[in-house]
């Protein structure tokens, strides 16, 4: 426990950690608000609201994690591969959208649980996005 706390305090810019937390809270509130529109609409408007919700939520998830990654200072120079970073954003949007679609289009409660698992931080979509983001980071000047 102390090692984790020490890492957060000494190897992170706490202002960026705070910014990531604020963005996470705003993205969560926005996702819930937009999902209310998805549930109350039908036809083409339902698909449009779902797309808006997926894009908004995907950007929020991606921004939260990317800012948190920027807050971490491992003690060696680092950089990010722009193509893989962009791929992680696209993955966040598409996989979050798939999870939201499963959650709102299911009649039984199991679909909501499955959709939530797809969107959750340890879920399928976030896991894929996180691996892409981690691969986009590289150390400069060495192994």
Domain boundaries of the chain, sorted by first residue:
2-139
pLDDT digits (tens, 9 = 90+) for 82-141: 898 899 899 889 988 888 888 887 665 666 666 666 666 545 555 555 555 555 565 555
pLDDT digits (tens, 9 = 90+) for 68-77: 888 988 888 8
Task: Give CA–CA dist 108/13, Å, rounded.
Answer: 44
Q: Are 56 and 89 spatial neighbours (Cβ–Cβ below 8 Å)? A: no
pLDDT digits (tens, 9 = 90+) for 41-63: 999 999 999 999 999 999 998 99
Give the residues across from 137 on adjacent strands. Answer: 80
Contacts of 40 (CB under 8 A, 6+ apart): none
pLDDT of 143 reads 47
Q: Are 129 and 62 spatial neighbours (Cβ–Cβ below 8 Å)? A: yes
The number of angstroms, rounded, from the C-alpha of 30 to the middle of its chain's C-alpha atoms is 13
Exposure class string for 1-13: b at 16+ Cβ within 10 A, else e? eeeeeeeeeeebe
pLDDT of 122 reads 47
Model confidence at 15, pLDDT cuts 50, 70, 90, reads: very high
130: left (phi over 0), alpha (psi -120 to 50) or beta: alpha
Mean pLDDT, to the nearest integer, of 7-30?
A: 89
Whether residue 26 is predicted with pLDDT greater than 90 in this model: the reply is yes
Mean pLDDT, to the nearest integer, of 9-30?
A: 90
């Amino acid at each position: 426990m102390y090692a984790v706390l020490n890492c957060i305090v000494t190897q992170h810019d706490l202002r960026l950690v705070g910014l990531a937390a604020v963005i996470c809270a705003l993205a969560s509130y926005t996702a819930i608000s937009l999902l209310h529109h998805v549930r109350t609409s039908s036809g083409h408007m339902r698909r449009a609201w779902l797309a808006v919700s997926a894009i908004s939520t995907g950007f929020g998830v991606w921004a939260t994690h990317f800012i948190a990654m920027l807050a971490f200072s491992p003690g060696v120079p680092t950089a990010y591969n722009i193509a893989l970073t962009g791929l992680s954003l696209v993955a966040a949007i598409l996989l979050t959208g798939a999870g939201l679609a499963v959650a709102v289009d299911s009649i039984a409660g199991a679909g909501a649980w499955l959709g939530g698992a797809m969107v959750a931080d340890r879920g399928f979509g976030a896991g894929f996005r996180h691996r892409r983001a981690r691969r986009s980071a590289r150390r400069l000047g060495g192994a």
